[in-house]
Amino acid sequence: MQKDTIIIRQEQPKDYAAVEMLTREAFWNVYCPGCSEHYLAHVMRAHKDFIPELTFVAECGGEIAASIMYMRSWLEDDAGNRMETLSFGPISVHPDHQRRGLGKRIMAHSFEAAAAMGYPAVVIFGNPENYVSSGFKSCKRYNVTIEGGAFPTALFVRELREGALDGRHYVYRESDVCELLLPEKVEEFDRQFPPKEKAWMPSQEKFYIYSHSTVG
């Protein structure tokens, strides 16, 4: 296999350890000193909202260089009607392969698969520079808020079917999977990996700003 050959395929049980290591490398010190995303990848596979059919890895040169994992989420209108949607995360690209378009490729592959399964939209939290070029738009453009009516700067929507969201007001309801991220459990799990230094990075302040701001 040529080193630059990229194969995108569904994650298999034999990939679990490699995906968790990849996720740790991709997120270490990005949003906080250390990270919890590798533990999330570990525990979310057994959660009721996990969608294994939409969990993919990208192999580059025979090694896993990127991963994307999906959970169910919902948009609820003012009458209480719920539309089942998707949310992904973690999406991980190994630092050695970042800024080469691999994240966009694995996202695009997953969007095609999700649309074929009939899902109407993907709703995520993230940094705009990572997602707007892949078709995501501010939640305000689709009248999607969180509970209380705010339009978070970091909340984005991508329709998988044009017109799937018809302009009515929706409240985003995410899976409760993140309730599993207990600090003591994260620390216990992380001790299974080679030691890494926790440190402050400028990206952590950017994350704080995005996650604590709204679109006016």
pLDDT tens across 44-54, in order? 999 999 999 99
Cα 91 from Cα 54, distance rounded (Å): 12
pTM: 0.94
φ, ψ for residue 80, nearest 5 deg: 90, 5
Asked if residue 182 lies in contact with residue 15, where contact means CB atoms within 8 angstroms, the answer is no
What pLDDT shows up at residue 70? 98
Average pLDDT, the chain: 96
Task: Determine, yes or no, domain membership for 196.
Answer: no
Task: Return the sign of the alpha-carbon dihedral for residues 106, 39, 138, 145.
Answer: positive
Task: Identify whether 71 is part of a domain.
Answer: yes
How far is Cα 216 from Cα 214, in angstroms, rounded to an integer?
6
Residue 181 lies in a domain: no
Is a pLDDT exceeding 50 seen at residue 2? no
Q: Residue 61 — pLDDT band, cuts 50, 70, 90?
A: confident
CA distance 159 to 162: 6
pLDDT, residue 98, reads 92
Residue located via tokens 């509970």: 147
Q: Which domain holds residue 124?
A: 6-175+202-211
Helix, strand, coil content of the chain in percent (nearest 5):
35, 25, 35
Look up tokens 């501010």; give the residue.
138
Would you say 89 and 143 are in contact if contact means Cβ atoms under 8 Å apart? no
Q: Quick check: is 188 in a domain?
A: no
The stretch 81-89 carries a mean pLDDT of 97
Q: Is 191 domain-assigned?
A: no
What's 60's domain CATH number? 3.40.630.30
Q: Does residue 185 fall inside a structural domain?
A: no
Q: Report how far residue 86's alpha carbon sits from residue 178's, in angstroms, rounded to the nearest whole number.
A: 15
Mean pLDDT value across residues 76-100: 96
Question: Residue 1's pLDDT is what?
Answer: 32
Within a domain: 23 = yes
Is 187 a residue whose pLDDT tops 80? Answer: yes
**3 has a pLDDT exceeding 60:** no
Mean pLDDT computed over 163-186: 96
Residue type, position 107, single letter:
M
| Secondary structure class of 17 (helix, strand, coil) | helix
Residues in the chain: 216
Could you give the number of structural domains in the chain?
A: 1
Beta bridge partners of 206: none
Q: How confident is the model at residue 167 (pLDDT cuts 50, 70, 90)?
A: very high
2 or 65, higher pLDDT: 65
In a domain, 186, yes or no: no
